[in-house]
Structure 1
Amino acid sequence: MTSTSERTDAFEFPILIADIGGTNARFAVIDNADAIPGEPQIVRTADFATIDDAIRTAVIERLSVRPRSAVIAVAGPVNGDEIALTNCPWIVKPRAMEETVGLKDVVVLNDFEAQALAVVALGDEHVEKIGGGEALPHAGRVVLGPGTGLGVAGLIRSSGKWIPVPGEGGHMDIGPRTPRDYQIWPHIEPLDGRVSGEQILCGRGLVSTYRAVAITDGREIVHTTPAAVTRAALDKSDSVAEEALSLFVTCLGRTAGDLALVFKAQGGVYLSGGIAQKIIPALKAGNFRAAFDDKAPHSEWMAEIPVYVITDPLGALAGLAAYARAPHTFGVETEGRRWHN
């Protein structure tokens, strides 16, 4: 028998699911409650003036389907009827979407809520473990991902439901600890007078860290993109790039460990996004785990918390799909974030 809450929460099919990042937008459509998402459509946000243009081109025209509902995850806080993305010029206007793309029911979530939902939607084949013990099945979890920015979310279980906890943890301060850190930090580019996690733990942050190491030692700045720095570090062709990536990994471990303490994340810490997937060899080198565990007086406890890299590049869509098919099984707060047009 279908409960009242299930009928109230349910979305009308077909349902559009969308993961909108600073650089790429990923779309898929779910035809019915038993269906897996259809073929994902991935577009660059820079190629479209608005999200509505992207939906028309990537979904309605390419797939010849007109969704009735949508669950959209965006990189930025969800406030009001016009939602600006943090690292993309798009503004999502859910109330206008019935007229622009035919959507009668729209929910907008933070992109890292989607990543948190993915944690319970993905199987073991979609993650790679970076040390620690076994996850406690119903314990708190944390997801963080260096990408265009640094996204953070928690995941807790209460009353039989998984509840994603969005936030802006990527903007927490991050500071030097070692003598070498104190040499490098003055050359890391601040934002409004401070260095936050996002000034180091994202693509441009890796380049900034590389530049800071080079300036500290009076070395030539050769690389200008995250991919070039990562390549040079992993193939050991540039010692400055190697140190920059090592410091990046150490800072990621420190930040991940701090968040694990906040959420008592004995269910695991999950690293998402393309950067984490590309630097798995560096994450396994040892300094990430050492920095993660170094949280006296709780170091022994921290050493038991498993860390995983989400290796599925479309993990967020899997999380959104799980929620869209059965919203009553998740504790997602939709007040002020759901629009019935």
Structure 2
Amino acid sequence: MADRDNRAGLQFPVLIGDIGGTNARFAILADAGSDLGQTHIVQTASFASIDEAVQQAVLADSPVKPRSAVFAVAGPVDGDEIPLTNCPWIVRPKAMFSTLGLSDVVVLNDFEAQALAVVALGDEHLEKIGAGEPEPNASRVVLGPGTGLGVAGLIHSGGKWIPVPGEGGHMDIGPRSARDHQIFPHLEKIEGRISGEQILCGRGLVNAYRAVAAADSNTPRFSKPAEITAAALAGSDAVAEEALRFFVTCLGRTAGDLALVFKSRGGVYLTGGIAQKIVPALKEGRFREAFEDKAPHRELMRSMPVYVITHPLAALSGLAAFAQTPARFGVETDGRRWRA
């Protein structure tokens, strides 16, 4: 059973890990006042399990042996065995007592960590997209297209920042413009439906690119997200350019929908490698136009700022902030904390 006592702090040193579908990032916090130590970034496909990755990539060369761990994983946290949504790893916190020598393990959703990062990072790690100013202590939204589409809210209550994880990347998304109605029939579906993740992630961008090509009976040239993004930003492939415009528009619509749900006057924050790479496209105006096009609430949407988080290890920063100052955050660990 997971420990129900979420009041006590973690014992240092603390191993922190951000486990995505493609990459896993680890670091060790020596104490409550230290900065992140050396960061270890590994491909999940290179290791059979998270335990093996930590042992070989982190602990083998570290003079510091962690006593506790906080992991953020791409998937819902439920039970003593936690499968990841887009990765074959299964996190087994109780087994880590023996395999990794830990005595205390907390497992959060990966976008909870991204939400924590929003208040842990400074302005130097934020790139603003359009107008609007944040209201102090107002609700915020974080979303990030990556291996999948992650979504989380962040609300302030009782003097604490409270992350609200969810599976918002799997909301339905549909066509609006005449061109959308030409493209959408060619998008690959999951069990008959098109969710945000079918467009707004790496494989989703490929899906969009192929659909744009098919809509005009063109033959696609590229098969990887990075190729499509590079060609679009360079202006060297018309299909790639339209696919990225379509991607940016759909991202703006989805971000606007989520901003309405949370009434996020504190801002909307785009995170992950894809958002960082397409900042020029996000700044062209198409994103904000789609974001604000929410009649009868255009004025409300115009007032909400949007930022791209540019910190390369934002989730680790969020986890570190939680490990060092847990009283600042209302993170519920009931059912998500295991003690030896």
* TM-score, normalisation: structure 1: 0.97
User: Post-superposition shift, 1:220?
Assistant: 1.5
User: Post-superposition shift, 1:7?
Assistant: 9.9
SS of aligned partner of 2:152: strand
Mapped to 1, the partners of 2:203 and 2:269 lie a distance apart of 21
Partner residue in 2 for 1:299:
298
Partner residue in 1 for 2:52:
53
Number of corresponding residues: 336
User: Post-superposition shift, 1:8?
Assistant: 4.0
Partner residue in 2 for 1:258:
257
Which whole-Å deviations, capped at 9, do the CAs of 1:178-226 have from their partners, x for residues lacking one? 0100010000000111000000000000001000010110111100000
Letter in 1 for 2:259: A
Partner residue in 1 for 2:26:
27
Checking the alignment, whether the CA contact within 8 Å between 2:50 and 2:89 is kept in structure 1 is yes
SS of aligned partner of 1:181: helix
Checking the alignment, whether the CA contact within 8 Å between 1:11 and 1:69 is kept in structure 2 is yes
Mapped to 2, the partners of 1:8 and 1:281 lie a distance apart of 44
- Greater shift, 142-151 or 50-59, is seen at 50-59
Partner residue in 1 for 2:236:
237
User: Post-superposition shift, 1:274?
Assistant: 0.1
Partner residue in 2 for 1:78:
77
Q: Which runs of structure 2 are paired with 1:81-120 in the superposition (5 Å)?
A: 81-120=80-119
SS of aligned partner of 2:58: helix
* TM-score, normalisation: structure 2: 0.98
Mapped to 2, the partners of 1:213 and 1:326 lie a distance apart of 47
User: Post-superposition shift, 1:290?
Assistant: 0.1
Partner residue in 2 for 1:3:
none
Same amino acid, percent of matched pairs:
69
Mapped to 2, the partners of 1:59 and 1:65 lie a distance apart of 10
**Which segments of 5 or more consecutive residues in structure 1 lack a partner in the other structure?**
1-5
Mapped to 1, the partners of 2:205 and 2:267 lie a distance apart of 25
Checking the alignment, whether the CA contact within 8 Å between 2:145 and 2:271 is kept in structure 1 is yes
1:17 aligns with 2:16: yes
User: Post-superposition shift, 1:132?
Assistant: 2.2
Letter in 1 for 2:333: T
Mapped to 2, the partners of 1:21 and 1:324 lie a distance apart of 20
Mapped to 2, the partners of 1:329 and 1:286 lie a distance apart of 36
Mapped to 2, the partners of 1:332 and 1:169 lie a distance apart of 19
1:310 aligns with 2:309: yes
Letter in 1 for 2:315: A
Q: Which runs of structure 2 are paired with 1:176-195 in the superposition (5 Å)?
A: 176-195=175-194
Letter in 1 for 2:144: G
The root-mean-square deviation of aligned C-alpha atoms, in Å, is: 1.0
User: Post-superposition shift, 1:327?
Assistant: 1.2
Q: Which runs of structure 2 are paired with 1:265-304 in the superposition (5 Å)?
A: 265-304=264-303
Partner residue in 2 for 1:65:
64
Partner residue in 2 for 1:221:
220
1:165 aligns with 2:164: yes
Checking the alignment, whether the CA contact within 8 Å between 2:18 and 2:73 is kept in structure 1 is yes
**Which segments of 5 or more consecutive residues in structure 2 lack a partner in the other structure?**
none
Which whole-Å deviations, capped at 9, do the CAs of 1:156-190 have from their partners, x for residues lacking one? 00000000000000000000000100010000000
Mapped to 1, the partners of 2:205 and 2:7 lie a distance apart of 45
Mapped to 1, the partners of 2:152 and 2:99 lie a distance apart of 31
Mapped to 2, the partners of 1:22 and 1:132 lie a distance apart of 33
